[in-house]
Every structure is written in structure tokens, then in C-alpha cells.
Amino acid sequence: MKLLVVGSVAFDAIETPFGKTDKILGGAATYITLASSVLGVDSGIVSIVGGDFPQSDLDMLSRRGVNIEGIEIVKDGKTFFWSGKYHNDLNSRDTLVTEVNVLEHFDPKIPASMQDAEILLLGNLHPAVQMTVLERMTNRPQVVILDTMNFWMDSAWDDLMRVIAKTDVITINDEEARQLSGEYSLVKAAKKIHEMGPDFVIIKKGEHGALLFHDGKIFAIPALPLEEVFDPTGAGDTFAGGFASYLAKKEDFSFETMKSALSVGSAMASFTVEKFGTERLQEITESEIVARINNFKDLTTFEVNV
Ligand code: AMP
């Protein structure tokens, strides 16, 4: 199955307790599709960059099998730029700069070669743009996955509600789930979010893993305890990319398959945080992923006899 991703392709400047970077490759769609390429899943991006975006990065995505026909290049425009600084616990961060640049007037166009994608992942972007992409698919994809953040809850509530209503799976972090639902309990929050549209609600809890809610059932997966966490940027996007790519590989959208997909997303994200930006994600092989998923199994499987 094919995966179509809409989201930012960006420059990021990141500061963590371990160091800082100048402008490096980032963006939600970049992390998501790099995760897909590790698993050998056909993916394509709908996004926009400026004339300042390096051809070498576009070539790198292309070489990895990512369809970049849907990345518009505005020759005299500037690429979206985001800068963030992590606190010492690495679980929280401050956004220092967001320069929307070419994303401000983004009118997404879906290339004919991606119109048949069975899975659509609406990565973190303005919900009105996410909605436009969904509306411009000739046939509705079999599964629509939505990732969003508090920024859009504060600035584009009505648009966000409209796109959530059309979504099958939502991925959101714990703080955002509380803000979206007005409930502190994540169980109650998931119930309210179900009522907004999605049948499947995934709540990400950073270093504490993720929860999947569906039809009165709950499944939990931990995050792999890592000795070194270097830079959490893109962990959420990588998680979503790993999750969606596993569904694409299995061609199945049942609760059971989604449980396994959660472990793939977590394993993938555990690599991303080991180095700055997309560096680690660009290095890993499918066998490394398989080994790490097995680590997850060892971590979470146990027998009990009462
Ligand atoms: P994550 O750490 O998973 O939340 O994702 C980080 C990525 O999201 C970075 O590479 C940024 O370029 C991108 N990003 C941050 N803010 C926004 C925004 N408002 N719209 C689109 N992408 C963003």
C-alpha cells in the first residue's frame, strides 16, 4: 500500500543540553517519510519549500524511494524555519522561532502518481491545509491519520474540529489530548476525542510511551528506556511514520495490527532521538529496527501465575 504524507519540509535549528545545530534538515513530512523508507514502504510528500532548500536533500529523499513530485519549490521564497530549545529533562521544549515563510500561502496539490494512496497521513500543519488535501483526493483513502499540536488548538479551533471529524486515527500527545478534550484523565480524554470523529485515538506520552484507544479497549506500549537521549525533535513524527508504514505493509487496519504498529513507531522513534535531527534515521537499516522491536517484546512480555 502507498502512504501519502502532507506536512512541513523544513529547516530546524535545535538546542539541547548536549549541543546546538545551525539550520539542518527537518520538518514533519521529512521525519515521517524517512521512517517509511527504512521499512521499504512507498511514500510521497505534499509540501512546499523555498529556493533556499538544498537540491541534495531532495535528492536524498528521492534516492530513498520517497516520491517528491508533490513538493512545490518557490524559487524566490524561503523554506519554513523552526527553532527550539529543550529543557534539561528533554521532555519539554520552548519554541524560539517559527518562520512560516512559503507555508503561509501553501495551496497543496496532489500529484496524479499519489492519488491512489490507500493511507493518508495528515502531518502537523494548519488544519485547513490538511482538510484541503483530504478534499483533493479523488477517492477517499482507506485510512486517514491525523497528527496535530496545541498551536492549532489555540489558533484554528474550528478548522481543527472539521478535519478531526473526517479522521480515522488521531495521534496527539498527553498535554494536547487534555487541552483538546478538557479532561485530565487520559481515558476520559480519549472518549471525548472519539466523539469528535476518530475511531482510534493514540496518545503519546514522550519517554513514557503511548496509549491506543479503540472501541472501549486500551493498549499501552512503553518507550524503550535509552541510555542516551540526544535530541527528541521529530520523535512524534517518526512514531507516526513508523506506525502508518507498518499498516501499509500489513494492508490491515484492525486493532491487533495497530497494536503492533505502535511498537514499530516506538522503535523507530527511539532511533531518531539518538542523534541530532534526521541523522540517525538516515543511517538505520531494517535489521536494526527488527532487533529493536524484539527488545520491546523482551521488555514487555511476562508470565504470571497467581
Ligand atoms: P516533533 O518533534 O515530532 O513535534 O516535530 C518537530 C518538527 O516539526 C520539526 O522538524 C519542525 O520543523 C516541525 N514543526 C514545528 N512547528 C511546526 C508548525 N507550526 N507547522 C509545521 N511543522 C512544524
CA distance 142 to 62: 25
CA distance 41 to 288: 16
Does ligand 1 come within 6 angstroms of the Cβ of 171? Answer: no
Can you list the residues of the chain whose pLDDT is less than 70? none
Does ligand 1 come within 6 angstroms of the Cβ of 82? Answer: yes
The protein residue whose alpha carbon is closest to atom 14 in ligand 1 is: 27
What pLDDT, on a 0 to 100 scale, did the predictor assign at position 33?
A: 98
Does ligand 1 come within 6 angstroms of the Cβ of 152? Answer: no
Distances (CA, A) of 158 to 116, 131, 150, 267: 29, 12, 13, 34
Amino acid at 67: N
Mutate to test the pocket of ligand 1, among 8, 49, 271, 278 (most ligand atoms within 8 A of CB): 8
Does ligand 1 come within 6 angstroms of the Cβ of 176? Answer: no
Does ligand 1 come within 6 angstroms of the Cβ of 81? Answer: no
The answer to whether position 218 is within a domain reads yes
Atom of ligand 1 nearest to the CA of 26: 10
Atom of ligand 1 nearest to the CA of 12: 12
Atom of ligand 1 nearest to the CA of 124: 21
The protein residue whose alpha carbon is closest to atom 13 in ligand 1 is: 27
What pLDDT, on a 0 to 100 scale, did the predictor assign at position 226?
A: 87
Does ligand 1 come within 6 angstroms of the Cβ of 8? Answer: yes
The protein residue whose alpha carbon is closest to atom 16 in ligand 1 is: 82
Atom of ligand 1 nearest to the CA of 277: 10
Does ligand 1 come within 6 angstroms of the Cβ of 151? Answer: yes
CB 295 within 8 A of CB 268: no
The answer to whether position 305 is within a domain reads no
What pLDDT, on a 0 to 100 scale, did the predictor assign at position 296?
A: 87
The answer to whether position 214 is within a domain reads yes
Q: Is the pTM of this model over 0.85?
A: yes
Amino acid at 137: M
What pLDDT, on a 0 to 100 scale, did the predictor assign at position 204?
A: 94
Question: Between the CA atoms of 238, 246, 73 and 53, what dihedral angle is there, to the nearest 10 degrees?
Answer: 30
What pLDDT, on a 0 to 100 scale, did the predictor assign at position 207?
A: 83
The answer to whether position 264 is within a domain reads yes
The answer to whether position 144 is within a domain reads yes
The answer to whether position 280 is within a domain reads yes
Question: Between the CA atoms of 100, 104, 106 and 107, what dihedral angle is there, to the nearest 10 degrees?
Answer: 160
269 Cβ neighbours under 8 A, 6+ residues apart: 223, 235, 236, 238, 239, 242
Span 237-254, pLDDT tens digits: 999 999 999 999 999 999
Span 45-66, pLDDT tens digits: 999 999 999 999 999 999 999 9
Domain count along the chain? 1
The answer to whether position 211 is within a domain reads yes
Residue range of the domain that includes 114: 2-300
Amino acid at 250: K
Does ligand 1 come within 6 angstroms of the Cβ of 272? Answer: no
The protein residue whose alpha carbon is closest to atom 19 in ligand 1 is: 125
The protein residue whose alpha carbon is closest to atom 9 in ligand 1 is: 27
What pLDDT, on a 0 to 100 scale, did the predictor assign at position 48?
A: 98
The answer to whether position 306 is within a domain reads no
The CATH code of the domain that includes 170 is 3.40.1190.20
C-alpha of residue 219 to centroid of ligand 1, in Å:
27
Atom of ligand 1 nearest to the CA of 236: 3
C-alpha of residue 302 to centroid of ligand 1, in Å:
37
Does ligand 1 come within 6 angstroms of the Cβ of 125? Answer: yes
